[in-house]
A and B are shown apart, each in its own frame.
Chain A
Amino acid sequence: MTKKNEPIIKVENLAKSFDGTTEILKDISFEIQKRDVIAIIGPSGSGKSTLLRCINQLESATRGDIYFHGKNIRDLSINKYRSHVGMVFQSFNLFNNKSVLENCVLPQRAVLKTKKKEAVEIAERNLELVGMSDRIHYKPSSISGGQKQRVAIARALCMNPEVLLFDEPTSALDPEMTSSVLDVMKKLVRQGMTMVVVTHEMQFAKAVANKLIFMADGYILANDRPDIVFNSCKDERVNTFLHQKYNEK
């Protein structure tokens, strides 16, 4: 489907304002290539989550364009596009009225029209991948935060997305649960999953990502390989933030 070197997603001059005056995102441009693992970091309020929400179309951009395989997403069916671009939220957002298994089966049945037997098989396979196969009949209220996040990842994987967007997936978790979720994400990286991760986990970003985007005040101040951003970025603000954050760990 993708031509050689054509990005899966291309973001071009994206801007977003909620009140018509203050722009949360200002002229954002970057590309997501197949097998990219992009970590987006930056101070709170810099527009990282809004950027992910714009990519998934949970927010509509005020200006600029997003292209999916070269086609402007304005010309695509929004629900079909979303099924190719999975999203994992900070607050998990599992369907509270459904069991773990149903959480993974329902979107496949509703969106992809997968047959029930096949949908269950896919769900069980992905729940096994994230280490949740022994909890498939539990309700979300009966599992821990780390387990919920792993189920949320499995649910997104069940749609067989081309890109997975993670919006601070470990921010609401304690260190033990954080490591269980990061382990699953590392496993996905090894399998070649294309991912964009908004994170404060500097170690993870440095170790796993092949691109690091630093955002502040709605701008991208750095977009390069993590080692370059960490060691030889010339922007003072980036350096200060990175060294403060890295030394916290």
Chain B
Amino acid sequence: MISNYGSYFFQGLLATLVLAIVGTLVGLFLGIFLALLRNIKIDEHDSILAKVLKIIGKTFATVHIEIWRGIPMMVQAMLVFFGGAAIGISWSGLGFSDFFNGYMICGLLVITVNTSAYMAEIFRSGMNGVETGQMEAARSLGMTYMQTIWQIIIPQALKNSLPTIGNEFIVNIKDSSVLNVIGLTELYASVSAATNRNYFQIAGYIIVALIYLVLTLCTSFLIRWLSREKKNGISNPFTVKHENINSIEGETK
């Protein structure tokens, strides 16, 4: 079966990886933006215009997050696909190539926006885990809110969120399989089509299960390694070398 359908499986595997990687990375980027909007503080000294804009931004982020987290991705995919068609989008006519066809674009849109809602909450939790003193120290030195967010808070929040972001990537590898409902041929759909054609259901699904398992186990391993390296401070070789510097000096941390 693999010899006959190998390239077909490979196309499906590639589609799954593209959906998971793009969905996670772009979803993370949008999620950071949504988390910042949702966490925005309305200050009593703000002008009326600033207050109104902040309320609009905060409300938009909250509604977006709650809607996209509250509906199954399969239903979202159907709504976007048929909703898009209803307002005149011809999905089959979209696309740049056989691989990046209209179905893939619709799938990428759904998985990215869906992921952004989860990433917003993951990142918001990572931001809340950053000590309030970090923001206060930066502001007390005269740094602006955006400088502080960009230079101090986001890097630390990302570090805090890394294991959960990795987990979201694993979820995306698996959940991208539901996008076959809009006609997108990802890993599950490619194997499913092949097995149905040849009545090798058990063998086919064992193969697809193993591929998913290998992908998720490799990702888990990579995340654990990255988290460990981050904890040890890969950017600073001195950190590990001089870990016990305080005991040498007779001072305690």
Interface residues of A (CB under 8 A from B): 56, 58, 60, 79-83, 86-87, 89, 91-99, 106-107, 110-111, 137-139, 141-147, 152, 155-156, 159, 174, 176-177
Contacts and interface: CB of A to CB of B under 8 A. Distances in A.
B7 interface: no
B253 A144 contact: yes
Contacts of A152: 137
B174 interface: no
A97 B252 CA distance: 21
A177 to B, nearest CB: 6
A158 to B, nearest CB: 9
Contact of A96 (B140, B156, B252): B156
Given A97-B156, A142-B236, 12 more contacts: A86-B141, A89-B136, A93-B133, A94-B137, A96-B134, A107-B143, A110-B151, A139-B233, A142-B238, A145-B251, A145-B253, A159-B142
B84 to A, nearest CB: 41
Given A93-B131, A96-B156, A97-B159, A82 B136 contact: no
Contacts of B253: 144-145
Given A58-B136, A97-B155, A110-B151, A142 B141 contact: no
A99 B236 contact: yes
Contacts of A138: 236, 238-239, 242, 245
A79 B142 contact: yes
B235 to A, nearest CB: 8
B3 interface: no
A114 B89 CA distance: 52
Contacts of B137: 87, 89, 93-95, 152
Contacts of A107: 138, 141-143
A139 B239 contact: yes
B228 interface: no
Contact of B251 (A81, A97, A142, A177): A177
A98 B148 CA distance: 13
A142 B239 contact: yes
- Give the 8 A-B CB pairs with smallest separation, nearest first: A83-B142, A93-B137, A93-B133, A144-B251, A111-B142, A107-B141, A87-B140, A82-B142
Interface of B: 44-45, 131, 133-134, 136-144, 147, 151-152, 155-156, 159, 233, 236, 238-239, 242-243, 245-246, 249-253
A137 B143 contact: no
B133 A80 contact: no
Given A58-B140, A79-B142, A111-B142, A142 B134 contact: no
Contacts of A95: 134, 137-138, 151-152
Nearest to A108: B141
Nearest to A91: B133
Given A93-B136, A96-B134, A111 B252 contact: no
Most B C-beta atoms less than 10 A away, residue of A82, A95, A139: A95
B142 A80 contact: yes
A178 B138 CA distance: 24
A96 B137 CA distance: 11
B208 to A, nearest CB: 41
Contacts of A97: 152, 155-156, 159
A226 B44 CA distance: 39
Contacts of B147: 110-111
A89 B250 CA distance: 24
A37 B139 CA distance: 24
Contacts of B138: 95, 107
B245 A142 contact: yes
22 contacts: A79-B143, A82-B140, A86-B141, A89-B133, A89-B137, A91-B133, A92-B133, A93-B131, A93-B134, A95-B137, A99-B236, A107-B141, A107-B142, A111-B141, A111-B142, A138-B236, A138-B245, A139-B239, A142-B239, A142-B243, A143-B245, A155-B141
Contacts of B251: 144-147, 174, 176-177
Nearest to B250: A176
A147 to B, nearest CB: 8
Nearest to B251: A144
B90 to A, nearest CB: 47
A9 to B, nearest CB: 15
Contacts of B250: 176
B152 A58 contact: no
Contacts of A83: 141-142
